[in-house]
Amino acid sequence: MIGDAEPIREAEETDEEPLELRPGREDLGERLDRFVASRMDDVSRSYVQELIETGRILVDGQTRKSKFRMTPGEVVTVELPPLAPDEIQPDAIPLDVVFEDDDVIVVDKPAGMVVHPAPGHARGTLANALVAHVPDISVGGDNRPGIVHRLDKDTSGLIVAAKSDRGRRSLVNQWADRSVDKTYLALVAGEVADNEATIDAPIGRDPKNRQRMAVIRSGRPAVTHFEVVERFEDATLLRLMIETGRTHQIRVHLAFIGHPILGDTVYGISPATVPYLERQFLHASELAFALPNGDDVRFSTPLPEDLARVLAALRAGPASEE
What are the Cα distances from residue 118, in Å, to 80, 139, 155, 279? 9, 19, 17, 21
Which is the catalytic residue, given 27, 152, 154, 264?
Answer: 152
Q: Residue 308 belongs to what H/E stretch? A: helix 305-316
Taking residue 149's Cβ as centre, other Cβ atoms within 10 Å add up to 25
* The residue type at 178: R
Phi, psi angle pair for 26, to nearest 5°: -70, -15
pLDDT > 90 in the chain, percent: 55
Q: What is the pLDDT of residues 255-274, one digit of tens each?
A: 999 999 999 989 987 777 78
Please give the chain's pLDDT, 322 residues, in tens. 444 544 433 333 333 467 788 888 878 999 999 888 877 655 678 778 888 988 999 999 899 999 999 999 999 998 877 655 457 888 999 999 999 999 999 999 999 998 887 766 778 999 999 999 998 885 655 556 788 888 999 999 999 999 988 898 899 888 878 899 999 999 999 999 999 999 999 998 888 877 789 999 988 899 999 999 999 999 999 999 998 888 899 999 999 999 999 999 899 877 777 889 999 999 999 999 999 999 999 999 999 999 999 999 999 976 544 4
CA distance 68 to 61: 14
Q: Which domains does the chain have, with CATH numbers?
A: 8-13+84-317 (3.30.2350.10), 19-78 (3.10.290.10)
27 is catalytic: no
pTM value is 0.75
Eight-state DSSP code of residue 272: G
For the purposes of burial, counting CB atoms within 10 Å of the CB of 316, is it exposed (0-12), middle (13-18) or buried (19 or more)? exposed
Tell me if 82 sits within 8 A of 138, measured CB to CB: no
DSSP state of 31: B
**Residue 100 CB-half CA count within 13 A:** 12
